[in-house]
Every structure is written in C-alpha cells, then in structure tokens.
C-alpha cells in the first residue's frame, strides 16, 4: 500500500501524464485529417483507450497500435494531483499560493469532466410566429415513437442511434411492442424504386416499399451531416406487424409520416435529429439581419423572442444578438444565423423569415471560470511573496518600516484587484 501511495503521489507520474497529454493532442489533431473533428474527438478524447489507429504526417503514414484516451489520462491526472496535494499539504502562509494553484487545477479537471458528461449543444430553428419547446442536435439521431397523450400533449419514446445495430431487439415498458433492427447504416441516399431493375424491398409497410436505399461513405467534415437509415421490424409477441424503412431523408423530402397501430393505439415512427425538450416554449417574433451601408457584409444578427413558462407564469420578450446570449432555464441561447427570403428596409436592414439559435446546456459552465480565478489568485500570491522578499533584501527594509505606507499600498492593491475581478465577472454574466 505504501508503494502504491508513493507511486500515486509521485511528481514523475505527473510529468509522464502531461507528456502523454501533449502526444494525445498531437495524435488527435492528425486524426482530424481522415476522421474529421467530431469523430476524432470521440475516438481520441472521449475514450479510455485507442487501438489500431492509422495517422498521416505529411507524406508519412504510421500506425498507433495502442494509446491511452483522453478520459483515462484525465482521471489518472486528477487522481495524481489530488493525492500529491493531500500528501504535501502543509498549512503555512508561504504555501497558500501553491495550494490555490493545485486546487484550481483540480477544479478545472472536475469542470471538464462535468462538461463532458452533462453538457449538450443543439439548435433551435424557428420561423416568424412559430413556437417550439425543443431543440435538435444535428450530430445525433434517434428513432422516436410518439403517440397522443390524454392531457393533449404528445408522449414520446426515443431510442438513441447507437442502439440501432443490425439484429438487435429493443424492448421497453413504454412501448407495447418489440423493435427489431434488421439493417442499419450510418449514411445513405434515397431514390425511387424501379419496377424491373430493383429487387424486392426489405420494407413491407410504409413509404419505404417504394424507395431504394443506397449506402454512402461516412461524412467527416463539419459542414455536412450523415443521414442514416434503418429497417425496423415491429413485433407483437412473436407476431410480425411488418418492416418499415426509417431515415431522416423522409422528413427532408416532406414524405408522409409512418404509423403503426398496436392494440388500437397509433404510434408515429420517425428517425430524426435528437431532441432536447424544455419546460418552456420559445416563439420567434422578429428576426433582423443588419449589414454595413452599401455592402452585403453582415453587421448584426438579431432575434426577438418570447419566453412562455407555464410553471413560473412567466411571459417576456427578449432580444438575442451577437455576443449577447440569453441564459434561461439552465441553458444559454446564442444567435447562430438567420435565413429565408428577406426584404430590404429603409434602414438598410434585412428582415429574414427564420432564425436559428444555438442552445448550449452545461450545468458546470461556471467551473472553468472559478478554476481560472483560483489559479490566477494562487499564482499572484506566490509570485508576490517572492517579489516582496527579493525587494526587501535588495532595499534592506524590514516588515515594520513604513507601516502606514504598507497599509495604503495593500488597500490600493486590493482595490485594483477587486475592481478587475468585479468587472470581469460582470462581463461574464453579460451585465457590462
């Protein structure tokens, strides 16, 4: 146990982990060439280990057979720093700065872990006058079964895309049937079925009987998205109710919704972007696109929205524009883009028909700022102590000399630091 504790608190382990972190960032950056940003983040930084990855540096291609992933390095670094901090903790005035730096770094690691687990990013696209209570994740999809609830609302059961593997049977108490995945692929293209050229479809029900699915290479760039498909068989006990083709393409092509009726209850079947529902509704009242006079260069995007929250009886209008987001209900709404046909006004302002907001939900969003506050304060105190000692030796002054001058200097120092901290905090929350 002593050997393990000595190993866990070793500063050599810290250096090794920091070196592995640098290599991880290097390999993850190279991986973006072939895998794209989002997949490279998942493979290298959101995993515990990485195996058999081919990378390219200029004209040289090489293989990384095994490497610790971002989560494993992060957990190991957190354990090492925490153990080293506890072992070497000594309550002395001279050590306060070092203790604050260690505490801030540990808080930063915890904040990154919280962000990784609990945060989400999505978009809320609204037309003028439209009201929605959900946003959509453009990088994740889900197979949703929705039905009308007695209270006039909609009851939705969503199956994440990662569960849609060929041959998998999905059962849940929320659905009176079993969902069997007969086929699945990450990206596809649709076309109409030829009566003679194409063989019989795997789909026996719904729109998919008239369509042909063609697999496409997985997309890795940030400007496009994959459109997957799945052939889904609905089973009531051992009885098959049919097989349906589901894909986000059906919604993009405005094809009719596909329904399945089980025990007299109708369920709408949809393969769509993952939705994050909110306990409040957002209505777009107005969208504007201001440009610089005489040019098409954007100057400002702005959306006027109404927040309606039945739980708090709140109904208020808010402007969201660039660098001025709205924080409400644990989420932050940023102005992302505007679109649709627009008209020119006398003020050289465009009035689009729709607006897209980026919705970021991150319960631990303050943790990195708090960690940076603590680290900065610790570094300031540590360097200040060393500087004060150095100047005292050079000038030959003692702690008792110039007492009133020392107090005035300290008060001035506290006032300046407090002002900077207060101003940055106001800017952080959008009040400055």
Q: What angle do CA 356, 359, 361 make, to 5 degrees?
A: 175
> 163 in a domain, yes or no?
yes
Q: Which residues contact 198 (CB under 8 A, 6 or more apart)?
A: 212
Domain membership flag for residue 136: no
Are both 268 and 149 inside the same structural domain?
A: yes
- Phi then psi for residue 268, to 5 deg, are -90, 130
Q: Is the same domain home to 269 and 190? A: yes
The ranges of the chain with pLDDT < 70 are 340-350, 395-406, 409, 429-432
CA 250 to centroid of chain Cα atoms = 26
Domain tally for the chain? 5
Q: Which residues make Cβ contacts (< 8 Å) with residue 265, sequence separation at least 6?
A: 147, 176
Out of 205, 240, 273, pick the residue that ends a domain.
273
pLDDT of residue 338: 86
Residue that terminates a domain, selected from 218, 247, 273: 273
- Contact present, 267 and 155 (Cβ < 8 Å): no
Helix axes 96-118, 70-88, angle to 10 degrees: 150
Asked if 284 contacts 127 with a C-beta cutoff of 8 angstroms, the reply is yes
Does residue 106 fall inside a structural domain? yes
Is there a single domain that holds both residue 227 and residue 330? no
Q: Is residue 173 part of a domain?
A: yes
Query: 3-state SS string over 353-364?
Result: CEEEEEEEECCC
Residue 4 belongs to some domain of the structure: yes
In DSSP notation, 333-391 reads: EEEEEEES--EE-TTSEEE-SEEEEEEEE-TTTTHHHHHHHHHHHHHHHHHHHHHHHHH
Per residue in 339-395, pLDDT tens?
765 555 444 455 788 999 999 999 888 888 889 989 999 988 888 887 777 777 776
The enclosing domain of 322 has a CATH number of: 2.60.98.10
Q: Are residues 390 and 318 in the same domain?
A: no
Q: Are residues 245 and 190 in the same domain?
A: yes
Q: Are 159 and 186 in the same domain?
A: yes
**Is 134 within the bounds of a domain?**
no
Q: Is 216 contained in some domain?
A: yes
Can you give the length of the chain in residues? 432
Q: 384 and 310, same structural domain? A: no
Residues 179 and 169 in one domain: yes
3-state secondary structure of 266: strand
Domain that includes residue 383, residue range:
89-119+366-397
pLDDT of residue 152: 73
Residues 242 and 351 in one domain: no
SS3 at position 87 = helix
The reply to whether 173 and 239 lie within a common domain is: yes
**Residue 137 β-bridge partners:** 274
Question: What is the number of alpha carbons within 13 Å of residue 220 lying toward its C-beta?
Answer: 13
Based on the domain organization, do 9 and 30 belong to the same domain? Answer: yes
Phi-psi region of 430 (alpha: psi -120 to 50; beta: other; left: phi over 0): left
What distance lies between CA 232 and its chain's CA centroid?
29
Whether residues 264 and 166 fall in one domain: yes
Residue 135 lies in a domain: no
């Amino acid at each position: 146990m002593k050997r393990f504790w000595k190993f866990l608190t070793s500063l050599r382990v810290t250096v090794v982990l920091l070196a592995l972190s640098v290599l991880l960032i290097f390999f993850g950056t190279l991986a973006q060439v072939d895998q794209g940003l989002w997949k490279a983040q998942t493979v290298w930084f959101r995993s515990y280990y990485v195996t058999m990855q081919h990378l390219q540096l200029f004209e040289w291609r090489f293989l990384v057979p095994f490497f610790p992933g971002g989560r494993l390095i992060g957990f190991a670094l957190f354990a090492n720093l925490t153990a080293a901090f506890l072992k070497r903790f000594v309550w002395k005035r001279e050590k306060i700065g070092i203790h604050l730096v260690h505490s801030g770094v540990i808080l930063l690691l915890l904040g990154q872990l919280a962000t990784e687990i609990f945060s989400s990013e999505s978009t809320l696209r609204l037309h003028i006058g439209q009201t929605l209570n959900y946003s959509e994740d453009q990088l994740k999809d889900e197979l949703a079964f929705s039905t009308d609830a007695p209270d006039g609302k909609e009851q939705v059961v969503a199956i994440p895309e990662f569960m849609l593997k060929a041959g998998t049977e999905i059962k849940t108490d929320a659905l009176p049937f079993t969902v069997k995945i007969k086929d699945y692929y990450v990206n596809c293209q649709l076309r109409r079925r030829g009566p003679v050229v194409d063989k019989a479809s795997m789909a026996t029900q719904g729109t998919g009987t008239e369509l042909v699915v063609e697999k496409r290479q997985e997309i890795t760039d940030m400007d496009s998205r994959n459109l997957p498909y799945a052939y889904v068989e609905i089973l009531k006990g051992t009885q098959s109710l049919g097989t349906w083709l589901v894909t986000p393409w059906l919604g993009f092509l405005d094809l009719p919704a596909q329904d399945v009726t089980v025990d007299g209850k109708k369920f709408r079947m949809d393969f769509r972007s993952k939705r994050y529902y909110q306990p409040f509704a957002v209505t777009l009242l107005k969208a504007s696109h201001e440009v610089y006079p005489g040019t098409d260069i954007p100057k400002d995007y702005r959306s006027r929205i109404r927040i309606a929250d039945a739980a708090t009886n709140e109904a208020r209008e808010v402007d969201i524009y660039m660098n001025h987001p709205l924080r409400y209900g644990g989420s932050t709404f940023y102005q992302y883009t505007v679109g649709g046909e627009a008209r020119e006004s006398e003020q050289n302002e465009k009035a689009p028909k729709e607006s897209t907001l980026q919705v970021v939900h991150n319960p631990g969003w303050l943790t990195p700022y708090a960690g940076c506050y603590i680290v900065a304060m610790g570094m300031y105190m540590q360097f200040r102590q060393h500087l004060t000692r150095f100047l005292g030796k050079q000038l030959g002054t003692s702690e008792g000399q110039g007492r009133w001058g020392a107090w005035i200097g300290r008060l001035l120092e506290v006032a300046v630091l407090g002002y900077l901290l207060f101003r940055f905090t106001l800017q952080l929350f959008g009040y400055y």
